[in-house]
Amino acid sequence: MLSRLLRKFTGQKASKDTAKKRLQFSLIYDKLEVNDTTLTDLQKDIVAVISKYFEIDKDSLELKVKRDDEVSALVFNTPILHVKRKSA
């Protein structure tokens, strides 16, 4: 109780609050971690689907998980060589 009052007056933060914040962040990040096999499998599947519609440069494509403070995004980047026309 006394230490709580003291903290209030000095504006000092309790170390357990820091612990809690750090935990909350690390748990979110832990869950966003994707292992390499998952990424490789995903890339194969995406390439297969896109290849149905576009001719793409398979050597210069890139798939990654981009993280920032607020959000986490899956970024797939590929040059399109040309669009496949469906033969009617």
Partner 1 sequence: MEGKVIVITSGKGGVGKTTATSSIGAALALEGKRVAIVDMDIGLRNLDVVMGLENRIVFNIVDVVQGKCKISQAAIRDRRIPNLFLIPASQSDNKDVLTTSSVERVANQLRKEFDYVIMDSPAGIEKGFENSIVGANEALVICTPDVSAVRDADRVIGILYSRSLTPKLIVNRIEPARVERGEMLSHEDVLEVLSIELAGLVPLDERVLISSNTGTPLVLQNDSKAGQAFKRIARRLNGEADLPIEVPNHRSSMWRKISKTFGFKK
Binding site for partner 1 (CB under 8 A): 1, 3-4, 7, 14-17, 19-20, 22-24, 26-27, 30-31
* In the complex, minimum distance from the CB of residue 14 to partner 1, in angstroms, rounded to a whole number: 3
Our CB check for partner 1 shows the closer of 1 and 48 to be: 1
Is residue 29 classed as helix, strand or coil in its secondary structure? helix
| Cα–Cα distance list, 78 to 5, 35, 36 (Å) | 58, 21, 19
The residue among 22 and 44 lying less far from partner 1, judged by its C-beta, is 22
Q: Rounded CA gap, 29 and 31, in Å?
A: 5
| Nearer residue to partner 1 within complex by CB, 20 or 84 | 20
